[in-house]
Structure formats: C-alpha cells, structure tokens
Chain A
C-alpha cells in the first residue's frame, strides 16, 4: 500500500512534469538556476548601493571642506569676495517646505484615508484616485507656471507663498497615493472586526487603521517632503530667489536648490564649492525627518 502509493505519486509527478515540459528540470539544475537568480539580485542590490555610496561619498568629499560656522550663519557674499553662506537659503527652504506640508499633508492624508476606506468604490473615489494619478504625472514645471499665472502675476510679486503653493501641488498626489497604499496594507480582519462592532467607516479609518499604519504614512510623507525639498523647478516662477535673509511670505525667498543651481551654474570655482556644501546640507535636511519618523513612531508588527 505504502510502496504502491509512493510509486503512484512518483509516476503522476513525473507525468505532470513531462506534460509541462520541464522534465529536464532536475534538482541540480534547479539549484544552479536558483543560485544564478540570487546572484543577479545581489548584483542589482550592490549596484544600487554602490551608486548611492559613490554619490554620498563624492558629495561628502566635495562638500565638507566648505562647511564652517560662517556657511550656516551668513547670507551670501557678493561675487568675487570670499566667505558667505547659505543661512538665508536654509531658513528659506524650511519655510517653503513647511508651507507646502501645511497644505499637502492634511489634504493628502485625508484623501488617502478616503480612498482606502472599506466601502463600495464609488465614482467619487475613482475620480479622486484618477486626479491624484494624473497630478503626480504632471511635470513640476507645470505646477510652477500654473501658480505663476494664478498668484505671481496677480499679486505683482514673486513670493514665498507662491513657492509653497507650487511645492504643495507637487507634494499632494504623492502624499495621497502613499497614504492610500500604506493604509491598504493594514489587515482587512482588523477593519472588519471594528466594523462588526458598529463603528462607522471613517471612525474605523481614523481610530484603528491610521494609528496602526502611522509609521508608514509618516515615512510616505517624509519621502514626499524630500522630493519637493530638493526640487528647484517649481520655484523658478514662484518663490524666485533672494540674496537676503527673509521670512516675509509676500516677498521672494531663497531656497537651497535654487542657490545650489545658481552656484553650480556660475563661472567661479568658489561658487562650485558653495554648491557642493549646499548639496550636502540639503541631503542632511532631507535625511533628518526620515530618521526621526523611523525612530519616534512605533512600527506595526503582526504578532503570531
């Protein structure tokens, strides 16, 4: 009985393999194949890490010599004179990205919650999702020109406010879609258990799903922030740039990407050094909230 069963099993197994045309797929070949694919994957990971490492090392090597106290505390020096810093651009970038977050985070997270809600998908959700997808495909220069015509030309001045709005437009769809995707990862059973107790869907989303996925949502937000913090394109026609330190939201404002662009494109060696140091500071500013989000917010783990 046992032997027969085993033989019969082997027979059917081999027949199946023969049918699907992989009878040559012996154990050894399978192992080689497996190792090859693992090797390729490892190579891809290494390549990616190497690119990141090369960029980071190069920026560190080029940027660190220019870093000093003056660099963080002084506005730029005029052309041809030594010294000067990017104090005005650091504060400017913080204000501009802060403005963008103020607009994009509440709206983006709210829209993400709406899209991930456990309800029958209606036409409104489809429309919101479609809009977010289209919006995230729009080049950031378009956001800049849009705000330029709508805000800059009407207010008769380039302004930090316009810059923040343009960045918010770029940020909003990213936050929305990130939030939706992360919230969808929360186990369905958790939502259903809550819904079974008679809690309304939005309460379920806010009180159970969102806190569970808080870390993922926050990391999604920091990724969106990082994206806009390093992008000068939406700022060309909106916040422009400023040689001076300014916190006035109705006036042009400096930002790190704009200053890096100006310095890197300039004809002076001293400017190129400032551009590298600026790039280093920008990376630091972007990494900080990412690390904070990972450290402060608790991660969600499935308990077995």
Chain B
C-alpha cells in the first residue's frame, strides 16, 4: 500500500516536471514555420461578437492559425497586454500616456471598427425624433434642465408637443466604454461638465438612477415615462429603441447610423495623430454623428515570436480589409478608407528584430 502510494506521488511529480519545462519551449526556436500558431487576445467586450466572427472566418481560410479572444473588459485588456500575458489586447478607449509609459515596449493602436452612443428616451405618444444639442444634453445630465417642456427643449423641438413632465435621468451603474464615450462627448462640449464631472468609464453622476449594462439601462428607461438614457448604438438599433438626433459641429441634426459614425471617423482622420490615439467625439463633417469612438486592438510593434507576430500582422491586415465588409451585418460601423490607409502603415510596422513581418498583400 505504501509502495503504491509513493508510486502515485512519484508519478505525479514525473508528470508535472516536463510540464514546467514546456513553458520555456513554447517561446520556441525562431523561424520554424508550418506549425500551428495560437494567438491569445483578451479585452474589450463591445467588439467581441464581430471578433468571434472574424476569428471563425479567418480560421477557415488559415488552418494553421488559431485565434483565441476573450471578452474580459477594456481595462483588463490594457493590463494584460502591459504584463505581456496575451499576444494582443482589445480596448474601447486608447491607452493613456501614463499607461503607455508603463508598458515594457512600444504598443501600437490598431482601430478595427467604430461604436457610437445613442440617446434614448421614453415619451409616450411622441411622434418624430427628439432633437438635442450638446448644451441641452449636458444641461439635462447636470440637472439644470428638469422638465420636458423647458424652453430650451421646446425651442429645439417646435413641432413636438413636449409634456409638462419631470425628466428622469438614467445612466450606467457599471463601468463601461459606452459611458466613457458619452462623458468624453459631454466634457468636450460643456466646460461645466468637464469641471464638475469629467470623463471616464464610471463617473460621479450629478443626478439620476443607474442601470446595469445596456439592457438594464434601457429597462429603466422603458419602465419610467419621462426617462432619458444612453445606450450603445447597435443595442438601440437591434431593439428598435427611440433615439434622439444630435446637432453636430456643422450645425446639422444627425441620426445615429452606421453611415454617420463612419462619417465622424472620416472627419476626424485629419486630426488623427501618428499613433492613431484619437477621440472622435464632436468630429467635423456635414454628416458626422458626434458621439462615437474607435475600438482598438493593442499589440507590440516589436514582436517576441516571429511566427506569432507574422500571424497577427496578417490577421489584422485581413481584418481591416476583408473583415470590415462583415461589420455592417453585425451592426458595427466600418473604418472609412482614410483611416484604413493610416492603419495599414501601423500593421506594416509590426516587426521582429526590426524586420517587418507582414506577408499578406492587398
């Protein structure tokens, strides 16, 4: 019996020993092509449905490349790529200067698609879309405008019969990239908001009640006549929620649509810095919708493993060209051509020992 037990323990040790060795082997001898490459990514939840479709389609064309993307949140994605525990990260917000400085190497921001925030409301019997300006929206969320028939609202919506009803403000109770884009917009257009509240994935709201997730928030809005809230655009479109038209920087009232978001990205392309980290809220352009943002894939410019780096560069190249064509079907706004050309330069710069890795061609 004792012999049997010691045998079991010994075999357990022996089994574990080679495993601890595997970790070192996985980094691998460079340049051994032909074998299956597994890319691990994690981060933003918002683009996950699209990424999972991309990964499946790309995997069917490239049997030797397997990509694993886990939706663990933008913040966690930034944290894990900084710690180098994953091959690429995903984030709805660009990394801050401090975050970039903390990373052990140069991190590239690769925009993949665009998301936007729609302002939704519950006003029974209202026909036509509510029109809002940034100042009025900030006023509502700062609790300076308390009633639906406030003169500032009726002046914008003369054709609507707005009721003498209190406005119930609804916001997200959980940390969210949607909140980040929304508060980024309010901060940019309202100095008062910038001072009193600021922007972030979760902020100290001056007023209102919270709802968890897009569904929780929209449930709150549906349940309370007179409520106003904000949701991710794809959620609003898929669930046929009423949405407000927002006045953009060109002075036009624009509906949140995939076209108006792509237009916002095109308008902001000119002011895009070389590292592509840019906020596109209140972007210039006739048809630009003002509350939108890129979602990014984060990757190191200098790759540790040439096989993985090559697979990643090729996949990204495919994603921003062929992959973009699948975006609309899943209610994501594709990148405008102006931005794709900028992204191409970034993908081409992914390298191993200063040699560019991209093999795919247009």
B-contacting residues of A (Cβ < 8 Å)? Answer: 77-81, 102-103, 105-107, 109-110, 152-153, 155-159, 161, 202-203, 206-207, 210-211, 236, 240-244, 246, 248-252, 262, 267
Residues A106 and B9 in contact, CB atoms below 8 Å apart: yes
* A211 partner residues in chain B, CB cutoff 8 A: 1
The 9 closest A-B pairs by CB, nearest first: A79-B49, A78-B56, A106-B9, A78-B52, A206-B1, A155-B23, A78-B53, A250-B22, A250-B26
List 26 contacting pairs A-B, 8 Å CB cutoff, sorted by A: A77-B56, A78-B52, A78-B56, A79-B50, A79-B53, A80-B49, A80-B330, A103-B16, A110-B5, A155-B23, A156-B85, A157-B26, A158-B85, A161-B20, A206-B1, A206-B2, A207-B1, A210-B1, A240-B40, A241-B70, A243-B52, A243-B67, A244-B66, A244-B68, A252-B40, A267-B215
Q: Within B41-88, which residues are at the interface with A (CB < 8 Å)?
A: 42, 48-50, 52-53, 55-57, 66-72, 83-86
B12 interface residue (CB < 8 Å to A): yes
Q: A202–B27 Cα gap in the complex (Å)?
A: 45
Residue from B2, B15, B52 within 8 A of A79 (CB atoms): B52
* B270 partner residues in chain A, CB cutoff 8 A: none
Residue from A80, A103, A109, A251 within 8 A of B40 (CB atoms): A251
* A202 partner residues in chain B, CB cutoff 8 A: 2
CB closest residue in chain B, given A148: B85
Residues B55 and A78 in contact, CB atoms below 8 Å apart: yes
When A102-B16, A153-B83, A155-B23 are in contact, do A246 and B2 touch as well, CB less than 8 Å?
no
B100 interface residue (CB < 8 Å to A): no
Interface centre among B5, B48, B69 (most CB of A within 10 A): B5
Residues A106 and B5 in contact, CB atoms below 8 Å apart: yes
When A161-B19, A203-B2, A206-B5 are in contact, do A242 and B48 touch as well, CB less than 8 Å?
no
What's the dominant secondary structure at chain B's contact region?
A: helix
When A102-B12, A102-B16 are in contact, do A156 and B1 touch as well, CB less than 8 Å?
no
Q: A60–B54 Cα gap in the complex (Å)?
A: 34
B142 interface residue (CB < 8 Å to A): no
A-contacting residues of B (Cβ < 8 Å)? Answer: 1-2, 5, 8-9, 12, 15-16, 19-20, 22-23, 25-26, 38, 40, 42, 48-50, 52-53, 55-57, 66-72, 83-86, 214-215, 330
Interface centre among A161, A236, A240 (most CB of B within 10 A): A240
A221 CB → nearest B CB, Å = 13
Q: A207–B3 Cα gap in the complex (Å)?
A: 11
Q: A252–B56 Cα gap in the complex (Å)?
A: 18
* A102 partner residues in chain B, CB cutoff 8 A: 12, 15-16
When A155-B23, A156-B84 are in contact, do A106 and B12 touch as well, CB less than 8 Å?
yes
A145 CB → nearest B CB, Å = 13
CB closest residue in chain A, given B50: A79
* B52 partner residues in chain A, CB cutoff 8 A: 78-79, 243
Residues A251 and B19 in contact, CB atoms below 8 Å apart: no
Residues B69 and A106 in contact, CB atoms below 8 Å apart: no
* A103 partner residues in chain B, CB cutoff 8 A: 12, 16
A157 CB → nearest B CB, Å = 6
* B86 partner residues in chain A, CB cutoff 8 A: 157-158
CB closest residue in chain B, given A211: B1
Residues A249 and B68 in contact, CB atoms below 8 Å apart: no
Q: A106–B66 Cα gap in the complex (Å)?
A: 36
Q: A236–B80 Cα gap in the complex (Å)?
A: 12
Q: A267–B214 Cα gap in the complex (Å)?
A: 10
Residues A80 and B53 in contact, CB atoms below 8 Å apart: yes
Residues B19 and A249 in contact, CB atoms below 8 Å apart: yes
* A158 partner residues in chain B, CB cutoff 8 A: 40, 85-86
CB closest residue in chain B, given A153: B83
* A78 partner residues in chain B, CB cutoff 8 A: 49, 52-53, 55-57
Q: A240–B77 Cα gap in the complex (Å)?
A: 13
* B1 partner residues in chain A, CB cutoff 8 A: 206-207, 210-211
* B55 partner residues in chain A, CB cutoff 8 A: 78, 243
Residues B69 and A249 in contact, CB atoms below 8 Å apart: no
Residues B8 and A106 in contact, CB atoms below 8 Å apart: yes
CB closest residue in chain B, given A245: B66
Q: A102–B68 Cα gap in the complex (Å)?
A: 27
Q: A153–B50 Cα gap in the complex (Å)?
A: 28
* A107 partner residues in chain B, CB cutoff 8 A: 9
A114 CB → nearest B CB, Å = 12
* A252 partner residues in chain B, CB cutoff 8 A: 40, 68, 70
When A78-B52, A153-B83 are in contact, do A240 and B22 touch as well, CB less than 8 Å?
no
CB closest residue in chain A, given B42: A240
Residues A157 and B40 in contact, CB atoms below 8 Å apart: yes
CB closest residue in chain A, given B38: A251
* B85 partner residues in chain A, CB cutoff 8 A: 152-153, 156-158
Given contacts A250-B23, A251-B38, 15 further A-B contacts (CB under 8 A): A78-B56, A80-B330, A81-B56, A107-B9, A109-B5, A157-B40, A161-B19, A161-B20, A161-B22, A240-B70, A244-B38, A249-B19, A250-B25, A251-B26, A267-B215
CB closest residue in chain B, given A240: B70
CB closest residue in chain A, given B15: A102
